[in-house]
Amino acid sequence: MYNATLDEILLGQQEEKKSLLSLHYQERSSTTSFVTNLRQPIIKIIVGPRRSGKSTFALNALNTTTRGKFTYVNFDNRELITLKFTTNQLVKSLKNLKNRFIFLDEIQNLESFPLVVSSLQRNGFNLLISGSNSNLLSGELASHLTGRVLSLELLPFSLQELKSNIKLEEIINKGLFPEIVVNKIDAKLYLKELFNAVIFKDIVQRYKLRKSSDLIATAIYLVSNFATQQSFLSISRKLSISSLATVSRYISYLKESYLLLPISKFSFKTSEVIKNPRKYYPVDTGLVNAMSSSSSRNLGRLLENLVLLELLKLKFEREKIFYFISRKTAREVDFLLDFGSKNFVAIQVCVSLIDDQTKEREIRSFEDLENEIGKVKKFIVTYNKEIWRLSGISIITAKELNQALLVD
C-alpha cells in the first residue's frame, strides 16, 4: 500500500482548505480584537471543545486577513499523525509552500508539538494554533514559547449568535454546536459521536490509558448528575473506584478536554474554595439529552446549565463564577460572579416564578447571601419572560443576560 510523503499530505490539505472555505460560515461574536491582531508576529491560540467552530473561524479569519496566503496543517488527520517526520522536515516542507502564515489545527494531537511550535516560531513563521485542550497554554508549551501569546476561547454558539428564531426548548434539548444549528443534523447521534471522540481521541489515546471503562462511567455519571455538588470521595463511592487520585485524574482529563466545566463553592478563604465540593456542567446542554437517562433532564437544571454557558460565552472568567450555599440555612444561590473589591452579582435560575413558594424561596436565598457577604446585584433568570415586581431583583430571560449584565 502506498504511503504518502509529508509534502503530498500537506499539498492535499491545501485542497482541503479550499473545500472548507467554500462552506457556509457564520460570523462569531466577541472575536474582533483577536482577528485584528492576526498579523501581529506573536503566536495566536484558539482553544475550545471539539467541533465548536475553531477551525472554521480560524480558516475564514486568516483567509480574510492574508487574502488566502496561508498554509493549513490539520493534525486531526490520521495520515499526517501516523507519518514519521522530524521537525526539520516539517519546517522544510512548510517553507516549500511559500506562505509565512501557518494554521496548525488540533495541534495537541502531535506528541512533540511544543518543540515543533517553538521551531516554527524561530524560523519566522506567523502561527495560529487551535486545540481542544484547555491547558494548551500551560505546561510544556508555555516553557518553549518566547514572547507574548494571544489567546481566544471559542465555545459553541451563544444565544446572541443565533441567526434564526429557535425555540428555547430546542436549544436546550439539541444544544448549540454549530453543525447542529446550521446543518440541522440529528443532534443525539452527533453528540454521542462527539462524546466518544473526546473520550477516545482526546483522553484515552493522548494519555495512553490502558482501560477506559471507569473514565466513561465517570463522564456519564457527571453529565447525568450535572449541576449537583460532587466530591472525589462521593464519585469514587458511587462508581466503586477505589482510588481518589484516579477520580481526580479522570475529572482533570474531562475538564481539560472541555467535556465538563467545574464551578467552585464560594468562600472568602482560598483554602476552602479548593477543598469544597464542586458542581460540574456539560459544555453543551444537548449532551445531557444525548448521554443520560430521561430522569436526568430536569428543566430547571438544564436552564441553569444554559445560563452558565452564556456567562462563559460573554467572557466572564470561569474562576470568578461560583455557587453559594449559606452556612446558616443551607439555602443556595446558583451563581455568584465575583468582580473583586466585594463587588458581586448574584443569579438565581428557575423555570417560573408563578408559584408564591418559589418566589419566597428565591428571595430568602438572596437575603441569606447578603447577610453573609453584603449587598449584591440580584437577577432571577426564568424560562419565559415574566413580569413580576420584586424589590431590588431584576427578572430576565437567558437571552437578556448579555444586555442586563452590560448595563449593570
CATH number at residue 371: 3.40.1350
Q: Classify burial at 120, counting beta carbons within 10 Å of its beta carbon; exposed 0-12, middle 13-18, buried 19 or more.
A: buried
* pLDDT tens digits, 82-107: 999 999 999 999 999 999 999 999 99
Cell numbers 490509558 correspond to: 209
What is the distance of C-alpha 396 from the center of its chain?
24
Residue 307 in domain: no
The pTM assigned to this predicted structure is 0.94
Say what the pLDDT of residue 227 is.
97
Name the percent of the chain lying above pLDDT 70. Answer: 96
Amino acid in the structure at residue 288 = V
| DSSP per residue, 297-347 | --HHHHHHHHHHHHHHHTT--GGGEEEEE-TTT--EEEEEEE-STT-EEEE
CA distances from 241 to 12, 260, 333 (A): 46, 19, 31
Residue 141 in domain: yes
What is the Rg, in whole angstroms, of the alpha carbon atoms belonging to the chain? 23
Q: Is the domain of 146 the same as that of 245? A: no
Alpha-carbon distance of 370 to 325, in angstroms, equals: 12
Locate 124 and state its grid cell: 519566522
Angle between helices 213-224 and 244-256 (to 10 degrees): 70
Q: Is the domain of 294 the same as that of 176? A: yes
Residue 304 in domain: no
* pLDDT tens digits, 296-312: 569 999 999 999 999 99
* pLDDT tens digits, 4-56: 899 999 999 999 999 999 998 999 988 999 999 999 999 999 999 999 999 99
Residue 345 in domain: yes
Beta strands in 91-145 (DSSP E): 101-105, 126-131
Residue 303 in domain: no
Domain count, the chain: 3
Task: Examine the pLDDT at 209 and tell me if it is beyond 50.
Answer: yes
Q: Classify burial at 118, counting beta carbons within 10 Å of its beta carbon; exposed 0-12, middle 13-18, buried 19 or more.
A: middle
Say what the pLDDT of residue 142 is.
67
What is the distance of C-alpha 312 from the center of its chain?
8
Q: Is the domain of 164 the same as that of 147? A: no
Q: Is the domain of 360 the same as that of 393? A: yes
Residue 350 lies in domain: 314-408
Burial 223-245 (b: 16+ CB within 10 A, else e): bbbbbeebebeebbeeeebeeee
Give mean pLDDT, residues 189-201.
97
In this structure, is the dihedral angle defined by the CA atoms of residues 172, 177, 183 and 187, taken in order, positive or negative? negative
Residue 65 in domain: yes
Q: Is the domain of 175 the same as that of 243? A: yes
Q: Are 167 and 178 in contact (CB under 8 A)?
A: no
Alpha-carbon distance of 379 to 270, in angstroms, equals: 26
Say what the pLDDT of residue 407 is.
42
Q: Is the domain of 147 the same as that of 166? A: no
Looking up residue 218, the CATH number of its domain turns out to be: 1.10.10.10
Q: Is the domain of 235 the same as that of 284? A: yes
Q: Is the domain of 134 the same as that of 50? A: yes
Residues 6 or more apart from 310 whose CB is under 8 A from it?
158, 159, 398, 401, 402
Q: Is 97 left (phi over 0), alpha (psi -120 to 50) or beta?
A: alpha
Q: Is the domain of 150 the same as that of 165? A: no
Residue 17 in domain: yes
Residue from 258, 259, 245, 175 nearest 216 by CA: 259
Looking up residue 50, the CATH number of its domain turns out to be: 3.40.50.300
Q: Is the domain of 261 the same as that of 362? A: no
Residue 112 in domain: yes
Q: Is the domain of 124 the same as that of 19? A: yes
Q: Is the domain of 52 the same as that of 79? A: yes
